[in-house]
Amino acid sequence: MTEKIDREEIAVEALTLVELKGLSARIAMNKVAQEMEITDWKERGAAHALVFEVLRRKNTLDKILNTVLKDGSARLMHPYLRNLLRLAIYQMKFGKTNSALVTNEAVKITKEKFGVKAAKFVNAILRQAENLPLQKIYENLNDIETLSIKYFYPTWLIKYLIKLVGRHTAIKIMKKTNTVPPIYLRINTLKGKKEEILKMLKREGVEIKEDKNLPDIVKVVSYEKPVTRTKAFQEGYIYMQTKSSALVSHVLNPKPGDFVIDLCAAPGGKTTHIAQLMRNRGKILAIDLNVRRVKEMEEKFKKLEVKIAHPLVADSRTLHKATTHKADRVLVDVPCSSTGAIWSKPEIKWKTKPRDIKHITQIQWELLTAAAKLVKTGGILVYSTCSITLEENELLIEKFLKLSPEFKLVPAEPFIGFKAYRGLEDAQRLFPYPNETEGFFIAKMKKCF
């Protein structure tokens, strides 16, 4: 790099990509870092943090911006300018950064990108934002709208959460997901003994805390450099995976020698975990419809030394028509609204709409009923989502059990979350509060005849 690029510029580029292309924050950051040739991981990390903080508070930042504009015209702005102003207002109002410094930086960037006239406009907006008392944005709001601005959530999701878990717990969940999410690692015992891998992490300055529920999961307490830059990560001795995601494979409880089918397998986190629990003995058919993601999954298998997983590009909804082979265990971790993954992917709050749930539940139903046809008598079927909605979880499983008498719900053990709702006490749910992990739903069913 010939010149230093400010973290604010990096962050605004990534935020604009998230908005225009619908990318996740992580993918947008990777793309921007590559294009801008950002090699300093500290600078990249600081920009990434800014992206996350702005995305978490997007509705409230827009409320401040539109209050200053008076005519609510933020949506008509150039996307880059809008995201630059969102970032500046975040730094000013929530980031405890000196307002004059924030304004100077934003004006400088605007002048370089759009010229003097736009820079004067940005300067005027930020001067007004600086003098705007925060209580002003709460005027004339009802209770749900107030919660929305205070806790940075869309109103429809607040109403849903309150109905699901009650007002007190809903607020606790919203508060929790506005903090920095914990980093969990899975120790890959296919490549070495747990004790040796933990020593390797310690040598590289990563301090961890072992999980009391899952023996192969540890929580990162502190680090000297990002975990992804450690030798342990780069050589496949550890894998970054949330606790709730890792729990799914433990609930499936595959045994060495089993034949397992993993539908919707990419990006391969659960598949590689299943292989680990099987000690690389048996066979896993790992299916996904996305060619690029299947290729990435194959690379992951090599890196983590998974030898029993066979990737296949196919539509999981029609696989049963092409094979007579039945599996000992089938995992269907379906595409979902991802409303449980907001902690680590804040952009989901603003991307997901109530109408999306109806569409996704149809796909989930097709996948679940297709998966059921692949389970042998006496075999196990596990259904999971990173969603909190009843429609994608309890209601769908209720319908399935009613129409599939050959299956019965069995305990989704190890049980570290809450009993699922609507009397499905053998299924379990996890929430960011108090489970300290993504929101998840897991149901385990046995085929009895």
Residues annotated as catalytic are 386
- Cα–Cα dist 196/14, whole Å: 38
Calculate the alpha carbon distances from 47 to 28, 98, 109, 192 in Å. Answer: 11, 18, 15, 35
Q: How many alpha carbons fall within 13 Å on the CB side of residue 109?
A: 23
Q: Which residue has the tokens 């989930």?
A: 364
Nearest one of 291, 296, 290 to 272, comparing CA atoms: 296
- Cα–Cα dist 296/222, whole Å: 29
Q: For the chain, give me the number of helices (H) and strands (E)?
A: 19, 13
- Cα–Cα dist 435/449, whole Å: 36
Which residue blocks in 22-154 are alpha helix, DSSP H?
Answer: 25-35, 41-56, 58-69, 79-93, 99-114, 116-131, 143-151
Secondary structure of residue 187 in the 3-state scheme: strand
Cα angle: 311, vertex 314, 320; to 5 degrees:
105
Residues making up the chain, counted from first to last: 449
Q: Which residue has the tokens 């072992």?
A: 210
DSSP labels, 344-401: T-TTHHHH--HHHHHHHHHHHHHHHHHHHTTEEEEEEEEEEES---TTTTHHHHHHHH
Question: Residue 47: which residues within 8 A CB-CB, separation 6 or more?
Answer: 7, 8, 10, 11, 14, 29, 32, 38
